[in-house]
Each structure stands twice: as structure tokens, then as C-alpha cells.
Amino acid sequence: MPKRIVIIGAHAAGVDAASAARKTDRTAEITLITEEKNAGYSRCGLPFVIGGQIPNFTDLIVFPPSYYQIMKLNLKAETKATKIDTGKKTVETIDKTGKKEEIPYDSLIIATGASAFTPPIKGKEKQGILPLRTLEDGQRIDQAVKKGAKTAVIMGAGLIGLETAVALQERGLKVTVVEMLPQILPAMLDADFAKIVQEMLEQKGIEILLGKPVEEFLGTDKVTGIVAGGEQINADLFISAFGVRANTQLAAEAGIALGETKAIKTNARMETSIKDVYAVGDCAESTHIVTQKPAVPQLGTVAVRQGKVAGINAAGGYSLFTGVLGSAVTQLYDMQVGVTGLTEAAAQRARIETVTGTIASKTKADYYPGALPIKVKLVVERESQRVIGAQIMGGEEVTQRINAISFAIQKQMTVRELAKADTAYAPPLCETWEPIVLAAEMVLMKLR
């Protein structure tokens, strides 16, 4: 009898799990369940459709309906999984017509993702607080702009918040970003780098208010303004970018253990506390490679890698997920910003004593036309001299440098070894001295 694999969730983690399962077992019956109308699209691309760089929201659909047919995947869209019975090994569902079904499984993969959340702020039940998580969310924001919104308030200065702020400013809106913490991109950058990004955004005309928590939503039925840090701000459009919370209710109700991050606890094979049940993506807990503590980075790259591991294992293969560094990049106007491993602040919280080295350089030979600035910060553990993190910002060539340092951290490279790296040079492509190497030398000077 063919193996029955059921996957709850059909985005990055879920669809990649299904693909990996199919490649591992050609005969398995694989069912994907999603509440959304569209499966397998890129959430990361939403701000860039709003900004106009990508023409349509439908362009974000990575896996068209034909893909599921070719891969023999049974996709149940607009269908909600209501209960998991791990004793009977079934998933109960209800579709948009109200039809209920009980689907049996041999292996179950939970890829329920995360949802945008708004903290318990006075007036949060009012209409007009728009998150940006789904295609429909993106379309609602786009419609508001087309209907003539002139001003927008973004609540939260994380990645999605700032990418959306840039998108709306590029569409001609006057944008204000409100953040309760004392810096932007608090999970991604240290204060010194965050300040540079903030100054660039402010030069482009985005107003950024730091250290101002949102205290109240104003308006009768629909939000017309907010009170943040005692100050009233009115606008036509209000974007909730407070963050996301892992969707764990279904798992918790089924008796599946949650970890200390409140996401679903998993091991290196992405198995949960219950046999034959796996969890992947934004709802699953992982291990941070540097600290060896639980982490939930909620990144698309992590989701697809975890999905692949769980899909192989669920189909009877063997695969391991070795942990996360939280490597991430973004582009805000002409500035690329990237991070991998721990920031100086995160290392401090993990009680790791660090030394840092920061260098400003160019992306081509200084005399070559079009050379753009680049700035590298390395974070090194003082005692072992191991590289444990990096932040890079510049006009180009940020991603592959972040990737290179990610390899270095995973291979437990010391800063001394990194300083001896054999790097390439050509005037139109890079400087004779690689900025990463110069940053490593700065650290070595401090260690001496």
C-alpha cells in the first residue's frame, strides 16, 4: 500500500517538503492542505509588488497549478485543518463549502507558518489596520494606494516594515515609521549600523520615530490616527508590521510539545515529540549554530531547507537539518544590507565576550568608475577567536560576502584564518584587499 503523507500548509516549507517527499518516494500519496486560495507563492516579494518593481501579485506564485499535477500532489486549497488526531493518525478538515473530511496519514508534516499579530493596543478592533503577510494583504494595501491614500504609518521597523515603507514612499506616499525600540532593524543590526541605514532612509524622505510604542488607535469604526509615545499621528493608511507569531494552536491541541521559543519543538530530522509527525518553517523551532540554543529565525531560506529535510524523512529517507545562523539580506533603495550569525548585541545577551572589527571600503578599485561604498563589521568570540557574526552594508556585492562569512562560521573558522583568505582581484570587480579580510585584520589588531 502506498505511503500516505499529509502536509498542513502549502507555501515555502510545505511545497518544498512535498517535492522532496515525491523525489524520495515515487508512489506515495501526498496531500497538501492550505487555507489560502493561492499556494506556493513568495511572501518575501510582496513589498516589491507594492513598490512597483514586480508588475503583479500573481507573479509571486512560484508553483503554478500544473506543478502539483506533474508532481502528483493532491492540493486542497481554501481548506482548513481543524484537528490532528495523532492516535488515529488522521487530520480533520473543512473546505470553503463547509464539507468536512477526515484524511488518514502515515507521516504528517506541519507547515502552518506564522501570522501577523497586533499587540493588545487600545482600539485594535477598529477597521483599517493592515498587515502584510498574504497576497490578499498585499492587494488590500495596493488598492488603498490606488484609491488615493497620501500618507501612511508603518508600525514596526523590522525588515518587512522598512521594505513596505520604501515601497509606499516610492509610490509617492508620505511615510512615517514608528518603532518602540531605540533603533531600526533590531533583530538584524547593531545600533552603529542601524543608524547609518536610518540616516539614509531619512534622507530619502521617510520619517522615523524611535522609542515610541503605539498606545492607541484613534477613530470611530475605522482607524484615522494613532497615539505613539504620547504623540498623535494621523494618516490614510496604517500598516501593522509589529511582527509575526508561530501558528502552533493545531499542534498544541494535538499534544505536540512546544519549545522554549513557543514554536514547535523539533530535532535534527525535523521530528516533533510525536512519532511520524514533523514540523517545518515559521512554526518550527530550530537550533542556533553559534549559541546551540533554540531559535526561530522565520526566514524563507530556512523554511525551504527544513521542508526538504522533513519531506525526505517523512517519505522514508534520511536527512538532517544542522541548524540556523539567521543569514538575511535586503535592499532598501540603493543600499544592500546583510547579516549572518550573531550581532554584537545578541552575543552580549548570550553572554559571549566579543571583539569586533569594522572597515569601510569600495566594491571596485577606488580609481575604477562606479565604485560603490561597502562597510563590513565582523563579530568574533574573544576566547576562541572564532568568527561568530557579521553585518555588511553597501551599494552592491553584499549577499555573497554574507554567504562567505556564513560558511566561515559553520566551519568554525578563526579570525586569524579568515585574515589569511586567498581572495580574487580585478579593478572592475573588487579591491586588491577584500573588505572581509581587512575587517578580520582590524579584529586581530584589537586582540593583540
Active site residues: 44
CA–CA dist 307, 112 (Å, integer) = 12
